[in-house]
Chains A and B, each alone.
Chain A
Amino acid sequence: MPQSNSPRPRRPLQGVRVIDLTKIVAGPNATRMLATMGAEVIRVEWHDQRALDLLRGVRPLVAGGDGDNLNRSGLFNNINPGKYGVTLNMALPQGRDLFKQLIAKSTVLCENYSPGQMDRWELGYSELRKINPRLIYLQITGMGKSGTYDNYVSVGPTAQALSGLTHMSGFPEPMPPAGWGYSYLDHSTGYYGAILVLAALFRMKRTGLGCYLDASQTETGIMLSGTAALEAQLTGKATTRYGNRMHSADWAPHGAYPCRGTDEWITIAVQNDDQWRALGDVLGAPDWTRDPRFANASGRKANEDELDRLLAGATRLRDRYDLMDRLQSRKVPAGVVQKSSDRAERDPQLKHRGYFVQLPHSEIGSWPVEGFPARFSNLTADVGGLPGRAAPVMGEDNDYVYREILGLSSEEIARLKEDWII
């Protein structure tokens, strides 16, 4: 360690520069994690259809602005805090030259263009490693670039369907799959992408080697399909759905039950006889809770349809949080189906832990951003990252990046702007 009086570093990725060519949610979630851990993440964006991050225009939007609305999406702001932003026209050779100069001075490249786009620009890994041999290049695509699907295209829902996750969610046939009500695999693949880069950075520190990582959203979904594919190999039977029931154990009741109010629900998961007796007590010991068919786990599991019907009748008039408190005081696992409004306004735990982080944005003011779900000693993990702010507006850091990192003069920067390159 060099001798100096500077404070001990606390950001794990101090000195790591990440060029972020990602869009929508999966790639940007990966770079969000890297920014939280202290990397200098630079988003590279442009105004045309191919390069523009469509998320910049996605609802919810903050009212006002000049009409193009590129800097007013709440979703974009939540997914991209802590990052720097530049504009760069990659469709022009001069733009690609600047991009290569950035790569020469960076540690990591993350991109999620459709497979093949970077090769068409002659910016694939084999080209870029000539410029920067230690480069860690993470590419995220729906199915994965290598293999037999290289022209296939995907968004989160596509990958969820192919992986099996859509099929596995919901009530059994004849009900259709419920699937996921959002792009779960945009989140998960982002987390995986961050893990792969963090592991590759650790390896690079030890060995000096860079690498190319071709991550697949669909494979992430397959990885998250639990034991389904194994069970199918074992039994020869196709994977089916189980609603909210516990397929792997005799836990019953195990589901979501209606409560007082409109579309209010509580989940209850009884894992043993003690919890079953406590549930009966909390409900005021109605006769059916003493039905001998429900006296033990296998009986409850065998009569789960009837059990669910009776329990739903008993929860229907209860207040959901009050019932949760009463069940929890008897150590019965129970949790309210919290809506976004509940988590934002009511959830005392998220408040206590400082889950929402208020961050300034250069155009729309200060907004709460979802935080990182762990507290650390010795280590700074903050979603505002190095710039200490929410998402960048288009081209917000052109001056910083082109002047201070690439060493261009004001005249050169002005000319690049005029030539529609930055």
Chain B
Amino acid sequence: MTTDALLTSALEGTVVEVGGEHGEFAALLLGSLGAEVIKLEGRAGSNSRRLGPFTTPDADPEHSLFFSRYNLGKKSVSLEVAHPASRVPFDRIASHADVIIDSGDRDGVAARLGLYRMLQAANPRLIICTITPFGLDGPWCDLKMTDLTHLAMGGVMASCGYDPTPEGVYDTAPIAPGTWQAYHIAGEYAVISITAALNLRELTGEGAFIDLSIHEAVSTCTEVALPTYLYNGAVVQRQTGRHAAESRTRPWLRRTRDGRYVKAFLFWGGHERRVITEMLNEAGVDHDLETDSYKELVKRSPSEANSHFNHMIDRLAASMDAEELYHRAQAKGLLWASVRYPEENLEDPHFQARGAFQPFDHPELGRPLYYPVSVATDGKNRVTAFDRGAPRLGEHNFEILTRFGFTEAEVDAFKTAGVI
């Protein structure tokens, strides 16, 4: 790694990525921590090369932003893992690996388990992580899944969506928040598992086999939903723009003057009420929160008073733009934020200073695009990064195969035979 960030040398070593799009995020994160990631993606290339958006109008698999987002820094070898003649090069690459990540439907991954057992017998330090929809066994292990169906089955969707009608009837569907979150969650757990296994290997000299279930990973990620049922027998109900709950709560989203939203998270405490009243005064918004009649209402009917206060927050929001309200509210210590588009953070000096985004060249555009690469700093600089963008299909065939002892003529022969 040439990139100079704190943790980019943390995981020196080689990760071999096989299989589908389910494991791409896991391998990406390991790459951001300094591992060399060799992606064996087959002659047709990864499925994600066929997902948009594309940087060129022809939907060229070399120009998928979906692929490039999840494959920064990786090395691509177009090895057909299913081809009988791929066995020799596969074994040689895999036998030098620290970690193999294999992902996709169970049947495809299971077909390679015998091979993995042999590789691990020959190299006990090897760590193998399979990422499959339900794990390698169980009554549902062969179901066909996508990101959407995982977010449904794992319980995320049941907590996300819109308020019911005033009569308590849900007339809108539950929502799967975009995008690829099931694979994000599974990828994070895969990396926790793999980095834990790397730590154990430092103690024992031995690797591990990891059988990760995307369904279970998604299931762990629903916060209060399961405890509420397990302890209270209650099912949380989805609500617009705020936490699902056993009973209805007041709104958080407020429409601002510019037609945008601020998320006005409140504990409804005394300090919050005082500073909101101050903000109404400072913004010159007409209100009656300091009148005797309001104070009487608070005593007589706290719930009516809260509804009225709630209405005043709407008025405050409507009096200014979202970004202005966000910064003013934060200056008063309120836990509020503008509901931004993700790209608006590119212009925010805070995230620029922290190096959250890293530019990678796109020759087909004649300009770089800025990718999110890090979630932490060392107090000043980002701690994870990549030393190059995503690879072209088979870009590293020659580099990798010759590194592992194949001659130029042998690499050509693999090509002719359809192995790469």
Contact = CB atoms under 8 A, between A and B. Distances in A.
Given A168-B342, A374-B210, A211 B353 contact: no
B15 interface: no
A98 interface: no
Contact of B152 (A183, A198, A256, A374): A256
Contact of B339 (A161, A223, A348): A161
Interface residues of B, number: 154
Interface in B138-152: 138-141, 143-146, 148-152
B226 A181 contact: no
A213 B335 contact: no
A77 B227 contact: yes
Interface in A157-213: 157-171, 175-184, 186-189, 191-192, 194-196, 198-203, 205-206, 211-213
Interface string B213-243: 1111101111111111111101110111111
Interface in B186-205: 186, 188-193, 195-200, 202-205
Contact of A339 (B158, B172, B351): B158
B229 A344 contact: yes
Interface residues of A, number: 155
A416 interface: no
Interface string B274-308: 00000000000000000000000000000000000
Given A157-B265, A181-B160, A233-B346, A13 B199 contact: yes
Interface stretch (A82-90, A279-287, A328-336, A396-404): A328-336
A353 B215 CA distance: 11
A341 B221 CA distance: 15
B335 A153 contact: yes
Contacts of B135: 349, 353, 374-375
B139 A352 contact: yes
A158 B265 contact: yes
Contacts of B193: 374, 376, 381
A373 B188 CA distance: 11
Contacts of A247: 52, 178-179
B170 A263 contact: yes
Contact of A338 (B145, B152, B373, B376): B152
A194 B339 contact: no
B97 interface: no
A78 B52 contact: no
B137 interface: yes
A340 B226 contact: yes
Contacts of A335: 143, 145, 148-150, 152-153
Interface in A336-363: 336-341, 343-344, 347-350, 352-353, 355
Contact of B144 (A181, A226, A332, A377): A332
B33 to A, nearest CB: 5
Contacts of B236: 181, 340
A333 B212 CA distance: 20
B372 A154 contact: no
Nearest to B136: A375
A57 interface: no
Residues of B contacting A: mostly:
mixed
A146 interface: yes
A194 B172 contact: no
A213 B376 contact: yes
Contact of B351 (A180, A211, A219, A234): A219
A249 B50 contact: yes
A191 B195 CA distance: 12
A161 B338 contact: yes
A147 B351 contact: yes
Given A12-B197, A157-B243, A348-B139, A78 B343 contact: no
A224 interface: yes
A384 interface: no
Given A374-B210, A376-B208, A181 B238 contact: yes
B44 interface: no
B361 to A, nearest CB: 13
A19 interface: no
Interface stretch (B4-12, B312-320, B398-406): B4-12
B333 A153 contact: yes
B162 to A, nearest CB: 6
A241 interface: yes
Contacts of A27: none
Contacts of B414: none
Given A179-B242, A199-B11, A379-B196, A227 B148 contact: no
B108 interface: no
A23 to B, nearest CB: 14
B371 interface: yes
Contacts of B334: 153
A248 B235 contact: no
Contacts of B244: 181-182
Contact of B372 (A155, A222, A371): A222
Nearest to A10: B200
A186 B184 CA distance: 14
A350 B160 CA distance: 21
B90 interface: no
Nearest to B131: A374
Contact of A1 (B139, B205, B223, B228): B205
Contacts of B208: 376-379
Contacts of A337: 152, 157-158, 174
Given A205-B202, A213-B376, A188 B184 contact: yes
A352 B137 contact: yes
A164 B343 contact: yes
Interface stretch (A59-67, A288-296, A407-415): A59-67
B167 to A, nearest CB: 12
A265 B162 contact: no
Interface string A125-138: 10000000000000
A227 B265 contact: no
A367 interface: yes
A348 B137 CA distance: 12
B206 interface: yes
Contacts of B173: 243-244, 255-258, 265
16 contacts: A59-B224, A75-B228, A154-B335, A171-B162, A176-B240, A178-B162, A183-B223, A202-B202, A214-B378, A219-B374, A229-B370, A234-B65, A243-B173, A331-B144, A333-B148, A334-B149
